[in-house]
Structure 1
Amino acid sequence: MIKSFNEIIMKVKSKEMKKVAVAVAQDEPVLEAVRDAKKNGIADAILVGDHDEIVSIALKIGMDINDFEIVNEPDVKKAALKAVELVSTGKADMVMKGLINTATFLRSVLNKEVGLRTGKTMSHVAVFETEKFDRLLFLTDVAFNTYPELKEKIDIVNNSVKVAHAIGIENPKVAPICAVEVVNPKMPATLDAAMLSKMSDRGQFKGCVVDGPLALDIALSAEAAHHKNVTGEVAGKADIFLMPNIETGNVMYKTLTYTTDSKNGGILVGTAAPVVLTSRADSHETKMNSIALAALVAGSK
């Protein structure tokens, strides 16, 4: 089973190289990530944006711009729409946000004519490699859905399972995270968790097992699960951590990022093709890892 981003990148490199369309590509950190992604055999790119600015930044960072196709579109909104259209028409396999506001970018992703909407819930999946755990940790949703209800959580689980399958985890264990591991009618997240678990028991989820509610310590640690006498297939062995809301997910994401020696990458899924939706604060390595994740998911259809 794959347990690191180095292994993810090796798996990507063993497959046919995918192509990412970058929306408003005149952004130094994004171009650095795209440059190195191609150099390392992870993905090629089509750069959509202001031609002169792209070339200027490329010269600054030592990027051979002749290795990349550039689509000149100085208008930000039109550039985003064009990048998405390249994916929907099969000229690229995934799309990446560049120097553009997230809301504007996502409007292009959801465009009725050339967008990537599927009718299902879109959700963000963040994958972490940490020193303490001998498995990858999948966090969802930490960046997109705010207060998902049961219907959205079903799609979020299925979206994250597809990412886990693409990486090579055949039967990921999903933990709906709550503050406690018992059903409490005053805590709606525990009711959702119990219903998701029952759905899993009855075979309504394919290629995974869901069990909860589980507190975070019990989902993460076999020792904690043992001490608290919580058993089951997921307790202490969870791969996917279904967050009850965006506050919980965002805090966990940033805690892992800034207080642990970890690596991570994340993508938006539930779309017709993977979307690399990174923050300007994300490291160069995180952007590279996110492109690698998107390439794997794009190649798993």
Structure 2
Amino acid sequence: MQQINANTPFDDLAVGSWGAAWRTCTPQDLLLFAHVSGNLNPLVVPAEDDAGPAPTAPSMWVGSLISSVLGNTMPGPGTLYRSQWLRFQRRVEIGERLRVIVTCIGKRASPRAVFETLVVDATGATVCEGLAEVDAPAEAMAAPVPDLPRLFLAHRDPFARLTALARSRPPLVTAVVAPDDRHSLGGVLLAAGEGLIAPVLIGDAEAIRRTGEELGADLSAFRLVDVPDPHEAAHVAATMAGRGEAAAIMKGNVHSDVLLAEVIRKEAGLRGPRRLSHVFVMGVPSLDHPLFISDAALNIAPDLAAKVDITQNAIDLAIACGVERPRVGVLAAVETVNPAMPSTVDAAALSKMAERGQIRGGVVDGPLAMDNAIDVEAARTKGISSMVAGRAEVLIVPNLEAGNMLAKELTFVAGARAAGLVVGARVPVILTSRADDERARLASCVLAQLHDHFRRTGRALGAAEVPAPVPALVHAREAAS
């Protein structure tokens, strides 16, 4: 049902008539105000990486809240400003909840009216006070609240918080296979510069050095293992990880199947109790949380047993990234079980298996269609009531084709930022597309750090300390000692 704003026309307006509204200050408010006003003062604009001191809200943003109450509530639709006087008593920080109150204190010749304006914080302390003179509406009006177009702020780094966490760990000794093109070597240099990885460059040494010269990079600080053949380079990387000489493997300019064939080779000793699966972590502009999608790159047509491992792997990575109890939506084309659609049967089975403790750490529901998995209103419209519907943080797709199309649509149509990791092996495998840029590779190294910490300790980085045995995988500081 559409909301209606009714006004108080001038003739019905009385001294003492008042209106009020609540508003919480968010980073998005400050960014949008910067766009609209052109005020780019660094003291009032949130930094992209959340570095430096927290910004304060521009005082005129606080003042603009008064106009919303005058125009929506009292006197309401049809009101036009004549003047506004303001005095600001203190600054407002992100996250503060404000109450805006306007009270009529006088009427002049029609249609002029004078209002006392006041903004207070949650404790009632004054933030801003002033006087407004307006032209009140002449006639009664009930105006439907317009459905404004949604605005998405796509430029902010969705991995900034996770990157800051990952920087607190020692760099992972990472075997990088064939980093001989600009994107793969550039990603390695960026991640090494952030202190996330200590790379061992394995591949055609001449090609790697040539690419380094093109990038203007000094590679002398990195160990370089000359193995010109990509298959053999992948073999060397997997062997190093199996011996505990590397804590992660990273794909460079090499085909995924070549690299993964060596990772799953029995002799490498990297296979764990579960099937390997790939997880995309997407920063989607329209969502306020990361979206985990699996499997979109590794398992082509997984059966139910494979989907159990895929789901558990994705839950573990979500927990490693700080999602306390991930909400998992198992996707299908419809949200009802249809025996003619095997994906719906698998989804229902996964949901029941999670209820019985066969999948742990998350809340699993399915089948869910894409709309009612991530949109609360779509779930409500279809009468779906669950802890997951409309709020899914992890999406399990029915097959690789569906997942790959979903991830790429989010990236190239919705402006999402993506990182990817293969989990299920005894070390994280940083697996990106050869077309991915350096930032995607950096974010994937962040995931490797967080997952490695979770695998070692059983908890997310930054969570309460719980003693746990530490496997004999080598970090850079450990190797140096």
TM-score range, shorter chain: over 0.9
State the secondary structure of the residue aligned to 1:199.
Answer: helix
Equivalent position amino acid for 1:17 in 2: P
**2:171 counterpart letter in structure 1:** M
C-alpha separation in 2, matches of 1:114 and 1:16:
25
Residue of 13, 18, 36 corresponding to 2:167 = 13
Shift of 1:67: 2.0
1:286 aligns with 2:475: no
| Consecutive unaligned residues in structure 1, runs of 5 or more | none
Q: How far off is 1:146 after superposition?
A: 1.1
Q: How many Å apart are 1:21 and its aligned residue?
A: 0.6
Q: CA deviation at 1:102?
A: 2.3
> Cα offset for 1:124?
0.7
* Paired amino acid for 1:279: S
CA distance in 1, matches of 2:233, 2:280: 26
The equivalent residue for 1:26 is 180
Greater CA drift, 95-104 or 137-146:
95-104
Q: Give the SS at the match of 1:300.
A: helix
Kept in 2, the 8 Å contact 1:18–1:299? The answer is no
How many angstroms does 1:51 deviate by? 1.7
Specify the SS of the correspondent of 1:67: coil
Deviations along 1:7-46, one digit per CA (max 9) or x if unpaired, are 1111100122212110122222111000011112222211
Q: Which is further off, 261-270 or 107-116?
A: 107-116
Q: Distance in 2 between matches of 1:74 and 1:196?
A: 44
State whether structure 2 residue 203 is matched by structure 1 residue 49.
yes
- The alpha carbon displacement at 1:66 in A equals 1.5
Q: Indicate the residue corresponding to 1:219 in structure 2.
A: 373
Query: For the Cα contact (< 8 Å) 1:43–1:292, is it kept in 2?
Result: no
State the match for 2:259 in structure 1: 105
Correspondence 1:41-190 to 2 at 5 A: 41-190=195-344
**1:115 to partner: Cα distance:** 4.7
Please give the alpha-carbon distance, in whole angstroms, between the structure 1 residues aligned to 2:405 and 2:322.
Answer: 27
Shift in Å, 1:119:
4.4
| TM-score normalized by the length of structure 2 | 0.61
Name the CA distance, whole Å, in 1 between partners of 2:273 and 2:205.
34
* Conserved? CA contact 2:200–2:222, under 8 Å: yes
Unaligned stretches of 5+ in structure 2? 1-156, 456-481
Task: Give the stretch that moved more between structures: 121-130 or 66-75.
Answer: 66-75
Task: Give the Cα separation in 2 of the matches to 1:198 and 1:20.
Answer: 38
Larger of the two Rg values belongs to structure: 2
CA distance in 2, matches of 1:75, 1:249: 31
Report the structure, 1 or 2, having the larger helix content. Answer: 1
Distance of 1:27 and 1:299 partners within structure 2: 29
What is the rounded CA distance, in whole Å, between the counterparts of 2:195 and 2:251 in structure 1?
20
Match of 1:262 in 2: 416
Aligned residues with identical type, % of pairs: 39
